[in-house]
Amino acid sequence: MRELGLLSDLLSYNNVLGLYAMDGRFREAVSILKEMASACIQPDDSTFKSLGSILVKCGVPKRAVNRLQVARKKDARSGLQAWMATLSSVVGMYEDEDEDRNHDDEDYVWTVSL
């Protein structure tokens, strides 16, 4: 999208990322985050709110998402790495599951340890 000139600033990236998150297009949302990094666009609280909602929708406990938030606030660089690793792992596993599966099942829970 950046090549088309559609994404040029933090607000436009956050809008697209948020829409992907709401629509359940988690892989695309993570790819927008990676695109932000390559464009040297610094994510903000709004970015991480959308990313947190993706993790919760994938079954990650809110407590684990809060730990990621705390890690990011303590050390931005390692916190961002923790977010990226978690998102890549969870979204990759989520996408590998059968597309017809109901992802709200109780047995579909992820844990994150920092």
8, part of any domain: yes
In the chain, how many domains are there? 1
102 found inside a domain: no
**What is the Cα–Cα distance from 53 to 18, expressed in whole angstroms?**
9
Give yes or no for residue 111 having a pLDDT over 60. no
Residue 9 domain flag? yes
pLDDT in tens, 28-50: 999 999 899 888 899 999 999 99
CA-wise closest residue to 31 among 65, 73, 2, 58: 2
Total-model pTM? 0.75
The answer to whether residue 111 sits within a structural domain is: no
Residue 107 resides in a domain = no
Q: Which residue intervals of 26-108 are DSSP H helices?
A: 26-38, 45-57, 62-74, 76-96
In a domain, residue 112? The reply is no
- DSSP labels, 10-34: HHHHHHHHHHHHHTT-HHHHHHHHH
Say if 83 falls within a structural domain: yes
Tell me the residue range of the domain where 10 lies: 2-96
Cα 69 to Cα 38, 55, 63: the distances in Å are: 22, 12, 10
pLDDT in tens, 64-95: 999 999 999 999 989 999 999 999 899 886 55
Question: Which residue is it, tokens 């844990």?
Answer: 111
Instruction: Let me know if residue 106 belongs to a domain.
Output: no
